[in-house]
Amino acid sequence: MDINTFVERYKPIDNHQSNDHSYFSEDDQEKAFETYGEELDFVLQQDNRYVWTILDDGTVQNGYWLVNRLAYLVCENKWELDRGHMEFSLYEEGDNG
């Protein structure tokens, strides 16, 4: 899966608490949530099947993960496979981020 397919299929919601453009923004709106504070509290209140974790290697994996995480995405549509069985690169080929 590529990032465009992910956005179209799962529809990441806007981060309603911050718009820092730190990890993943689209249409001038930050989509990623931080790993601490009120943003993390919001992520933890969501059903895990709507949460994706941005990892420090530039990949995104389905579910809530603690190790090597940079940020979280919360989506309108849930993922269906087991946690950890869906992963894609946040960056397009040739893009260094």
Express each pLDDT in 19-61 by its tens digit: 887 888 888 889 999 999 999 999 999 999 999 999 998 889 9
Token pair for 71: 């940020």
Domain boundaries, the chain: 3-89
Query: What is the helix, strand, coil percentage profile of the chain, to 5?
Result: 20, 25, 55
Please tell me the predicted confidence (pLDDT) of residue 87: 76
Band of the pLDDT at 97, cuts 50, 70, 90? very low
CB atoms inside a 10 Å sphere around CB 61: 19
> Model pTM greater than 0.75?
yes
Any bridge partners for residue 74, and if so which?
A: 51
* Helix/strand/coil for 52: strand
